Amino acid sequence: MDERSAFACTPDEWRQRLEQALALECDLDPMILRARQLRRQGSAPQAHCLEQELLPLF
């Protein structure tokens, strides 16, 4: 990443950063990462329970 301030980015640069993050499957919520990890480990029931916690309440 260059030394410029993040506030100096153009909309195209922000879009590019977002696309790069999505390509790396970067998530902001650690619960989502944990659910993915549980599924990879073969703990589907536990992953499902955790995913239920992430569902909207309404």
β strands within 1-58, DSSP E: none
pLDDT one-digit tens code per residue, 13-53: 888 888 887 777 655 678 888 888 999 999 999 999 988 88
Closest CA to 8 of 31, 21, 40, 17: 17
Q: Say how far apart CA 14 and CA 11 lie, in whole Å.
A: 5
31 and 48 Cβ atoms separated by less than 8 Å: no
Q: What was the pLDDT predicted at 3? A: 55
**Which of these, 26, 1, 28, lies nearest to 13 by C-alpha position?**
1
pLDDT at site 48: 94
| Domain ranges within the chain, ordered by starting residue | 29-58
pLDDT at 45: 94
pLDDT, residue 46, reads 94
**Residue 2 pLDDT exceeds 90:** no
pTM more than 0.75: no
Contact between 54 and 35 under an 8 Å Cβ cutoff? The reply is yes
